Amino acid sequence: MKLKLALIAALFVQVAFAQKNCNVLYSQKFTKQQLEEDIDFIRTKITNAHVNPYTEISKSEFEKKYTDIRNSLKDGMTQKDFYYLAKPLIVTLNDEHSSMSDFCVTDSIRKNMKVLPLKFKYENGKMLLTENYSDRKLTIGDEVLSLNNIPIDQVLENCAQTIPGTIEERIPIAVDKFWIVINKYCYFITDDYNLKFKSGLQTVVKSISLEQLKANASKSQPKKKEDFKPIDYKKIKDYAYVTVNTFDDRNTFTLEEWKTKFDSIFSQIKKDNAQKLVIDVRNNSGGNSAVGSLLINYFSDKTYHTYQGKFKKSKEYADYLKANNKESAEYNKIKDGDYYPISSRSVTADHNPLRFNGKTYVIVGKNTFSSAMMFSVMVLDNKLAEVAGEIPEKGHPNHFGELIKFQTPNTKLDFLFGVKEWIRPAGNLQPNKLIPAKIISVKDKTSEQIVEEL
């Protein structure tokens, strides 16, 4: 079974997101006054700039949580101590885009870090084994019942409290990242893991180094992973199959370069005389929603309605816009704390000689996220094409977005969250999920297999 990229890359993502000079910060001790300044800073930025910080807990509950944290601060605490106290303020935002950067560790600790050499998935309320890189003989698919004699449900509930995002997704995320969560963010087990499975097996799995984990994983999957392709096209039978793996317009292509790419591909589609079109965004984690809107114009001539929502006015975000040459006079007129409404627009298709006019499918999957989800939802709600595939594991059609980032002045912890709230064209539908019109299995399927399914 393939080792997901997250398994060997998550730690390095955290390191990349971490602060500089960690060797110094790890052991630095802060005064109570410094820590109070930092927790006050976090509270102020959330209440000033987050579009709606009280969706999971009420304003009074939020204030109580902040007060309890502030009262827990003491002289001599480290950045790590403060991190675990402060993070719940970020977690309870119920914002799938929110996060707080990792606390610092020294080079020595990072080099000698040990992890649980197992991978799990959360399915129908059960924690199931999916990958085994230990020296123990375990059965893939076996359900975990307990860890070190603690019921696994209790373990997951506690670990989920350290996971930012929407409340219903925290346990699945904790399970997916259990190999690193269990030793670094909750319970802090770094040696032996006494696991009891539903099959009746009870065994001790020993932790291993991250380097050993990577070595064990590479032995079981010698096949080299293909290079990431932002966009790809091939003809399969009478289908034009276009895979779009990102909508990024910063590090991949500019918006103008995306247009050039689309022009080239849809010119080839015309030459190939394809009768049907597939747009595959099952592994697209998003980027700029403008890329998705641009793509729509290549397969639909229908007038459609966009997302609606609201935009929190704050001095913080006004300053951010000004610093990035995006200042808006209309936004600046609004009183701090009030909301700038985002009205749903009616978009009329431009003339596009390269537009495909046949049957079109948009394929979504468990990894469709953020602006790729917004693209798929607009297609679905406006009936611009047939949306097929699987319900995404993370993210919601109605969500927070447009991130703003801050850093605590003393402990140097980065945190970010959304200043906009987005509502899908069809409104506040429940459940708040992207549910394809046609459910088909797409996980690990080739494009040829998906065409057969269609």
Report the CATH number at residue 208.
2.30.42.10
- Of 220, 250, 285, which residue constitutes the final position of a domain? 220
Q: CA-CA distances (angstroms) from residue 55 to 39, 42, 94, 346, 400?
A: 21, 18, 7, 29, 11
185 in the same domain as 239:
no
What distance separates the 2 farthest-apart alpha carbons in the chain? 72
Gap between the Cα atoms of 114 and 111, Å rounded? 9
Q: Find the helix or strand (DSSP H, E) in which 210 lies.
A: helix 210-220
In this structure, is residue 10 part of a structural domain? Answer: no
Gap between the Cα atoms of 228 and 205, Å rounded? 34
Sign of the CA dihedral 74, 79, 83, 89?
Answer: positive
In this structure, is residue 404 part of a structural domain? Answer: yes
208 in the same domain as 307:
no
In this structure, is residue 33 part of a structural domain? Answer: no
In this structure, is residue 177 part of a structural domain? Answer: yes
Question: Tell me: the pLDDT tens digits for 370-387?
Answer: 899 999 999 999 999 999
Gap between the Cα atoms of 36 and 60, Å rounded? 19
Which residues on neighbouring strands pair with residue 275, listed in sequence order?
none
314 in the same domain as 408:
yes
Gap between the Cα atoms of 100 and 163, Å rounded? 10
Residue pair 392/364 in contact by the 8 Å Cβ criterion: yes
Establish how many alpha carbons lie within 13 A of residue 415's alpha carbon, considering only the half-sphere containing its beta carbon: 28
Type of residue found at 292: G
Res. 5: pLDDT tops 60: no
207 in the same domain as 295:
no
In this structure, is residue 383 part of a structural domain? Answer: yes
Other Cβ atoms less than 10 A from the Cβ of 414: the count is 15
444 in the same domain as 329:
yes
Identify the CA nearest to 356 among candidates 220, 190, 437, 238.
Answer: 238
Res. 295: pLDDT tops 70: yes
403 in the same domain as 324:
yes
Mean pLDDT of the chain: 92
238 in the same domain as 209:
no
260 in the same domain as 205:
no
257 in the same domain as 378:
yes
Q: CA-CA distances (angstroms) from residue 452 to 148, 237, 435?
A: 46, 10, 21
pLDDT in the model for residue 226: 58
> Residue by residue, what is the 3-state secondary structure of 19-41?
CCCHHHHCCCCECHHHHHHHHHH
- Of 220, 245, 273, which residue constitutes the final position of a domain? 220
Residue 279 C-alpha from the chain's centroid? 21
Quote the crossing angle between the two packed helices 32-49 and 315-323, to the nearest 10°. Answer: 80
Question: Tell me: the pLDDT tens digits for 401-447?
Answer: 889 999 999 999 999 999 999 999 999 999 999 999 999 999 889 99
In this structure, is residue 352 part of a structural domain? Answer: yes
Tell me the two tokens of residue 448: 């040829």
- Of 159, 194, 220, which residue constitutes the final position of a domain? 220
Structural domain for 181, as ranges: 111-220
Other Cβ atoms less than 10 A from the Cβ of 177: the count is 21
Gap between the Cα atoms of 417 and 401, Å rounded? 8
Q: What is the mean pLDDT of residues 210-216?
A: 87
In this structure, is residue 83 part of a structural domain? Answer: no
Instruction: Identify the band that residue 17 occupies on the pLDDT scale cut at 50, 70 and 90.
Output: very low
Question: Tell me: the pLDDT tens digits for 115-135?
Answer: 999 999 999 999 999 999 999
Query: How many domains would you assign to the chain?
Result: 2
Res. 227: pLDDT tops 80: no
Q: What is the mean pLDDT of residues 129-155?
A: 97
- Helix, strand, coil percent content, the chain, rounded in steps of 5: 35, 20, 40
279 in the same domain as 365:
yes
Quote the crossing angle between the two packed helices 59-72 and 79-91, to the nearest 10°. Answer: 170
Residue pair 186/179 in contact by the 8 Å Cβ criterion: no
Instruction: Identify the band that residue 21 occupies on the pLDDT scale cut at 50, 70 and 90.
Output: confident
pTM recorded for the entire structure: 0.80
The enclosing domain of 288 has a CATH number of 3.90.226.10
Question: Tell me: the pLDDT tens digits for 70-92?
Answer: 999 999 999 999 999 999 999 99
Q: What percent of the chain has pLDDT over 90?
A: 83
214 in the same domain as 279:
no
In this structure, is residue 399 part of a structural domain? Answer: yes
pLDDT in the model for residue 221: 63
Identify the CA nearest to 382 among candidates 279, 294, 300.
Answer: 300
pLDDT in the model for residue 285: 93
191 in the same domain as 243:
no
